[in-house]
Structure 1
Amino acid sequence: MTKILIIPDVHGRNFWKESCNNWEGKIVFLGDYHDPYGEYVDGEPDKSESLTNLKELVVFVKNKRHTSDIICLLGNHELPYFNGNGKCRFDYWKQKEVKELINSLSPQLYYIYEDLTPEVPHKYLFSHAGVTKNWLGCNNLELKDLDNIDITNLSPLDQISYSRGGYNKYGSCVWNDLNDFQLQTPYKDYYQIFGHTWGGRTKPLITDKYAMLDCCKPFVLNTETKQIEEWIL
C-alpha cells in the first residue's frame, strides 16, 4: 500500500507548501503552475506573486527529488510557453523565464501507478485533464505515444473541445473538460485522477471511476483502498 500526495492546479497559489514540506513519499503535481487568476478574481495571486511561487516550487522540487519521487505533470497553461498555442492569462513579459522554470520541472503528460496489493490490482492514471479513448482514437494514438509528442510544435495536445471554446470534438489530455470526460469513454480500466476544470469549485468531484481535484487543496490517495481524502497535518 502506498499513499500519494496530490497537488491540483497551483496557478500561483501557495496551498502546496505546508503539505509538501510535511510529506515523505511520492508527490504528484497535476499541472498549471503559473498564469494566475488575479486579474479576474479577487483574492487570487497576481503574476508577480505567481512567478515568485513558481520559483519556490522549482527549488522545492529540485531539493526534494533527492529523497522523494516527485511527478510534475504538464497542464494546458504550460504548453503555450513551449509552442505558442492556446494562450490564456499568458505571462508575455516573463515568458522566457517561465518556460525555463517549467522546463526544469521535467513535466510529463501522464503518470501511471499500479498497486498490486489488492486481489485485483488497482491501476491509476494521472493527467492534467483526463484521458479518453475518444481523443486518442481520433488521432490514432495509444497512451504510450504521448511519450514521443513534441510539445514545441502544434500537436493533438492542442485540440480544445467546443465546450472550452475550441474547434475540436474531443479535447486532449491537457484540455479535456470535465463535462466532456463524463460523456466519453475513459482510457481502459484505469482509475483516473486529474484537475483542470476549476470554475470556482470548493469541493472535489470524486466518483468510483475518476477524481477531479481542482479545488485549491492538497489530497492524499490510498492506492490500496482507492480512498482520496483532503490532506490534513
Structure 2
Amino acid sequence: MESVALQHAECPICFEPLCRGEIGVFLDATGQRVSKHFYNLAAAREMLANGIITCPLTRRPIHSVQKVPDIRSDPDGWFGTVDFDGNGKLSHAEVVESLKAILPVDLDAFDRAASAPGWWEQFDRDGSGFIERHELPQLVEHVTKVVAGRRDERIPDIRTDRNAWFDYWDEDSSRALDKEEVVRALLKTLQLTSDPARVAQMRSTIDAIWCLFDEDGSGTVDRQEFLKAGEGLADTIIATIGEQRS
C-alpha cells in the first residue's frame, strides 16, 4: 500500500505537509538519489543524526540528505534535483509529485486537473511527452493560480468522539490502524509534526509500546483494542493530551 504520507504530500518521517518548509532528498554514498521521494529537511537531518541510515520508504542505504533548491530563486538547481533520471526533462509523475511537494495546492483538485484530457499538452509544447526546463515557468504559474489552497485539517476531538477520531485516521477503511497511521494521527493530534526531535521520540515510543495496544499481534489496532477502557490507545491519547495542556 502506498505510504499515507505520499497520498497527502507529507513528509514520510514527520507527516508535516512538505510545502510548509524546506525539503530534502536522500543520497547514497555516490551522491545519487536513493528514491524519488521528498522529505522535510529538518526531519531528514534529525533522522540521520540519530543514526538511522536506511530510507524510510525504500529501505536502501542512505549517506546524506541534500536540500532541494527553491524553485523561485534557483529554478535550474530545483529542476536538476527533481530530475531523478538526470535526462534533462520531467515526466508527468515527476512534475505532479514535485509540485505537490513545494506548492500549497488543493491536492484533489490538482490530481483532477492533471489527469484531464489536454492538460499536459498545453505545457508540453513540443509534444515530447515531457516537461523541459524552458516549459516549466508557465506550468508552475498555472498550477499556482488554478489549484492553489490546501485544505485545512479538521481533526475530530478524541475526547468527545473517540469513534469519529478512529474513523478519521482509518483512511483505507480497514477498520484498524497500522503503526504508521497511529504515528501520523498522534503527531498531528498533538501538533508535533514541526518538531523533529519530538517526532523521533514519538516514533521510538510507539515502537516500544506497540504490543500493549496490539493485543492480538495482528500488526494493527482494531476498534475494540482502541476503545478498551483504561488500557486502550484512546484513553492513553486522551491522558497524554491532558498532560500536555496542564
Larger RCO (CA under 8 A, 6+ residues apart): 1
- Structure number with the higher helix fraction is 2
Larger radius of gyration: 2
TM-score normalized by structure 2?
0.30
- Structure number with the higher strand fraction is 1
